[in-house]
Amino acid sequence: MKSPAADSLFGTFKKSSISEDIVANLLSLIRERELRPGDKLPPERELAAMMQVSRPSLREALRALAIMNIIEIRQGDGTYVTSLEPELLMEHLDFVFALTDATFLQLFEARRILEPGIVAMAAERITDEEIASLEACISRSIELVDDHAAFAEADLEMHELIAKAARNTILERFMASLTQLGKVSRRRTVALPGVTRQSVQDHIAIAAALKQRDPAAARAAMLQHLQHVEKELKHLTATGQD
């Protein structure tokens, strides 16, 4: 019999994605119980019973987490949390978080705070080589305006290049985390009519400000870009499109 506790923490699984679902729920368990590096996970038998899954499927998921260096499986002893590095956990937030429309909008609030400051910093520190890479990325995105998935990847690359150019490791890691969270929202927004073309124009304006080493113009261009995308996202969530 499935326990109420299991119902509250774990959902039902589709066979095609059972390993991914188990990975997601194990990560959720680590978060819910606030486990830290060195803490021991419940025994395998207990975990399998909690999630109503077979032990072979559970072992497959545990091996995946071990490969990610999030847990260590000690034969005859048990399974221990080894790392809670944000980038390791963020790689799998598509599984862990069922992002709601409200969360998408909160994500944009976070971006609106961080990215204008990051691009202003980048305007003072970006190299000629990085500007060339940025322009090449934008040129590629122009060719991909009708290929939404590929355009979303180019868009991510552009924002990552800017974060790197700011020369601030902490901010770069924050942006890497937000980027992982934002993958789902980017896939949704770029599919809306006109969004890719507007984004290209925004990107060109951002790159021009960076090339001029103008922090104020770069900040304004980034803020305008985020406002454009946020407007479309609000429209998307209001109409319930997928």
Q: Are residues 46 and 103 in the same domain?
A: no
Q: Are residues 24 and 137 in the same domain?
A: no
For residue 71, what is the enclosing H or E element? strand 71-74
Residue 1 has a pLDDT of 42
Q: Are residues 125 and 217 in the same domain?
A: yes
Radius of gyration of the chain (CA): 21
Contact (CB, 8 A) for 179 and 170:
no
Range of the domain at 129: 99-239
Residue 214 has pLDDT above 50, yes or no: yes
The residue out of 54, 86, 118 marking a domain boundary is 86
Q: Are residues 80 and 11 in the same domain?
A: yes
Q: Are residues 149 and 175 in the same domain?
A: yes
Q: Is 56 part of a structural domain of the chain?
A: yes
Q: Are residues 104 and 23 in the same domain?
A: no
Say what the alpha-carbon torsion angle 209, 171, 143, 222 is, to the nearest 10 degrees: -40
Q: Is 27 part of a structural domain of the chain?
A: yes
The residue out of 28, 52, 86 marking a domain boundary is 86
Q: Are residues 81 and 122 in the same domain?
A: no
Q: Is 93 part of a structural domain of the chain?
A: no
Cα–Cα distance list, 211 to 126, 129, 222, 229 (Å): 8, 11, 14, 23
Q: Is 92 part of a structural domain of the chain?
A: no
For residue 174, what is the enclosing H or E element? helix 169-189
Q: Are residues 158 and 108 in the same domain?
A: yes
Say what the alpha-carbon torsion angle 152, 158, 162, 167 is, to the nearest 10 degrees: 90
Q: Is 141 part of a structural domain of the chain?
A: yes
User: What is the per-residue pLDDT across 186-212, written as a single tens digit (0 to 9) for each?
Assistant: 776 777 778 899 999 999 999 999 999
Share of the chain above pLDDT 70, in %: 77
Of 220, 119, 133, the closest CA to residue 171 belongs to: 119
Q: Are residues 185 and 126 in the same domain?
A: yes
User: What is the per-residue pLDDT across 13-58, written as a single tens digit (0 to 9) for each?
Assistant: 444 357 777 887 888 888 778 888 889 999 999 999 999 998 888 9
Q: Is 118 part of a structural domain of the chain?
A: yes
Q: Could you identify the residue written with the tokens 């949390």? A: 81
Can you tell me whether residue 81 is helix, strand or coil?
Answer: strand
Can you tell me whether residue 158 is helix, strand or coil?
Answer: helix
